[in-house]
């Protein structure tokens, strides 16, 4: 685990950091096991999970405490019809036996907890935390639990995630791209809201962001500032049925409306990350388009590109202006602050939950549309 026994001095560490990826900086001190589970016979060494001891049930506790199931139930559930002394005794026994009521058995009989599945691409993408926040808040208001799944932005993982979701939650809000995965969840019949997918099947409810209006604002703003040579950095991870709805095509349409020269050549694919934006910026500069403005698929890509441009000695916005999409908190903090199409992501999450709730009561819902707002900052 340790690369070397002696800890690095602060200075040495500081120097090596900027270059290196995180090393293993984990120390684990093991402690003696707290409670030895009643050794079931041949126990030697760490007991593997395969030797699955039978679960401790309410019956076990009842027997051990010399009362009935129901009395144990009353004790652990804080019901009134029980003698305080008995309750204490039962609770002590239960505790000492390590008894924990089964969620499943409880769910079978009592009022059922609704678990909402939330499928996102990647928590590390700063777009999602805000959505998650909205979903958590709205779910909490309804007394729901939220199970979060991440596809890791990997299209091929979506099907696996969808399969898990179908089995383990009652309703689902998802960012998904793979039609197979979408179909899987849809077919399961659970309430389902699909977010931010331009190719959403008509029978699936969804929420989308009105980037038609947004792109028109963004391009209009740049044109107003005198730009005519505008490049776009597209997210290459998304399927490009370029016909309609994608930011890609909406950008081209908006550009055409303003009589700009922009066509497919002006759209550069970028990986959805800062690094992806930087790399795409290199392509723009190498392409000889002499673009005076760059519009990113999202803030992450735009910021990556902007930083690369500065690193190459360009002035922002004099030599090149930058505009992003999404309106991340981050966009306000970078230098220069980024002009961006701000989307109320938290609202998107809340609205999705509301739609799901509507589906539960049998009401059809349709789609939610969120209109972005252009926030002009120093980058353009």
Q: Which of 107/287 has CB closer to a copy of itself?
A: 107
Q: Which of 3/288 has CB closer to a copy of itself?
A: 3
Q: Which of 21, 31, 42, 52 binds DNA (CB under 7 A)?
A: 31
Q: How far is the CB of 8 from DNA (least distance, A)?
A: 16
DSSP class of residue 314 equals: -
Q: Which of 57, 64, 115, 213 binds DNA (CB under 7 A)?
A: 57
CB atoms under 10 Å from CB of 131, counted, come to 24
In whole angstroms, what is the distance from residue 89 CA to residue 83 CA?
10
In whole angstroms, what is the distance from residue 377 CA to residue 367 CA?
31
CB atoms under 10 Å from CB of 98, counted, come to 10
Q: Which of 282/358 has CB closer to a copy of itself?
A: 358
Site string for a copy of itself, 5-44 (x = CB under 8 A): --x--xx-xx--xxx-xx-xxxxxxxxxxxxxx-------
Do the Cβ atoms of 327 and 320 come closer than 8 Å? no
Q: First and final CA of the chain: distance in angstroms?
A: 48
CB atoms under 10 Å from CB of 218, counted, come to 30
Do the Cβ atoms of 362 and 199 come closer than 8 Å? no
- Please report, for residues 74, 226, 230, 255, 319, the alpha-carbon distance to residue 223 in angstroms, rounded to integers and kept in the order given: 71, 5, 9, 9, 15
**Nearest of 247, 255, 175 to residue 214 by alpha carbon:** 247
Q: Which of 40, 66, 98, 180 binds a copy of itself (CB under 8 A)?
A: 98
Q: Which stretch binds DNA (CB under 7 A): 97-105, 256-264, 292-300, 309-317?
A: 97-105
45 lies in the binding site for DNA (CB under 7 A): no
Scan residues 37-96 and list those touching a copy of itself (CB under 8 A): 37, 46-49, 95
Residue pointed to by tokens 């792109």: 215
Q: Which of 84/288 has CB closer to DNA?
A: 84
Q: Which of 64, 148, 179, 237 binds a copy of itself (CB under 8 A)?
A: 148
CB atoms under 10 Å from CB of 216, counted, come to 18
Scan residues 277-306 and list those touching a copy of itself (CB under 8 A): 303
Counting Cβ atoms within 10 Å, is residue 94 exposed (0-12), middle (13-18) or buried (19+)? buried
Q: Which of 291, 293, 374, 379 binds a copy of itself (CB under 8 A)?
A: 374
DSSP class of residue 317 equals: T
Site string for a copy of itself, 334-373 (x = CB under 8 A): xx------x-x--x---x-------xxxxxxxxxxxxx-x
Q: How far is the CB of 48 from DNA (least distance, A)?
A: 17
Do the Cβ atoms of 292 and 321 come closer than 8 Å? yes
Q: How far is the CB of 290 from a copy of itself (least distance, A)?
A: 26
Q: Which of 115/133 has CB closer to DNA?
A: 115
Q: Which of 108/286 has CB closer to DNA?
A: 108
Residues that bind DNA (CB under 7 A): 1, 30-32, 34-35, 54-55, 57-59, 66-71, 73, 76-77, 80-84, 86-87, 99-102, 105-106, 108-110
């Amino acid at each position: 685990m340790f690369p070397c026994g002696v800890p690095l001095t602060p200075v040495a560490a500081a120097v090596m950091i900027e270059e290196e990826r995180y090393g293993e900086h984990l120390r684990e001190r093991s402690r003696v096991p707290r409670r030895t589970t009643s050794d079931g016979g041949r126990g030697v060494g760490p007991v593997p999970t395969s030797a699955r001891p039978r679960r401790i049930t309410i019956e076990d506790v009842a027997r051990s405490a010399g009362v009935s199931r129901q009395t144990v139930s009353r004790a652990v559930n804080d019901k009134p019809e029980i003698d305080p002394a008995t309750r204490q005794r039962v609770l002590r026994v239960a505790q000492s036996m390590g008894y924990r009521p089964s969620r499943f058995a409880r769910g079978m009989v009592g009022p059922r907890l609704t678990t909402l599945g939330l499928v996102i691409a990647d928590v590390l993408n700063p777009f999602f935390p805000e959505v998650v926040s909205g979903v958590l808040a709205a779910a909490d208001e309804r007394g729901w639990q939220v199970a979060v799944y991440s596809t890791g932005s990997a299209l091929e993982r979506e099907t696996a995630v969808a399969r898990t979701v179908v089995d383990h939650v009652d309703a689902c809000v998802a960012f998904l791209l793979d039609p197979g995965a979408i179909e899987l969840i849809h077919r399961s019949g659970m309430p389902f809201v699909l977010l931010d997918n331009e190719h959403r099947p008509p029978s699936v409810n969804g929420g989308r962001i009105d980037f038609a209006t947004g792109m028109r604002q963004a391009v209009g703003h740049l044109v107003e500032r005198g730009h005519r040579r505008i490049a776009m950095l597209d997210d290459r991870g998304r399927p490009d049925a370029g016909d309609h709805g994608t930011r890609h095509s909406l950008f081209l349409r908006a550009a055409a409306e303003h009589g700009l020269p922009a066509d497919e050549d002006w759209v550069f694919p970028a990986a959805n990350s800062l690094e992806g934006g930087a790399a795409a910026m290199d392509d723009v500069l190498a392409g000889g388009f002499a673009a005076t403005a760059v519009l990113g698929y999202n803030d992450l890509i735009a910021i990556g590109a902007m930083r690369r441009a500065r690193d190459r000695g360009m002035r922002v916005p004099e030599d090149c202006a930058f505009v992003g999409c999404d309106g991340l908190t981050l966009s306000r903090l970078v230098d220069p602050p980024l002009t961006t199409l701000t989307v109320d992501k938290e609202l998107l999450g809340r609205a999705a939950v509301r739609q799901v709730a509507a589906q539960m009561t049998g009401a059809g819902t349709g789609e939610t549309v969120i209109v972005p707002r252009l926030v002009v900052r120093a980058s353009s």
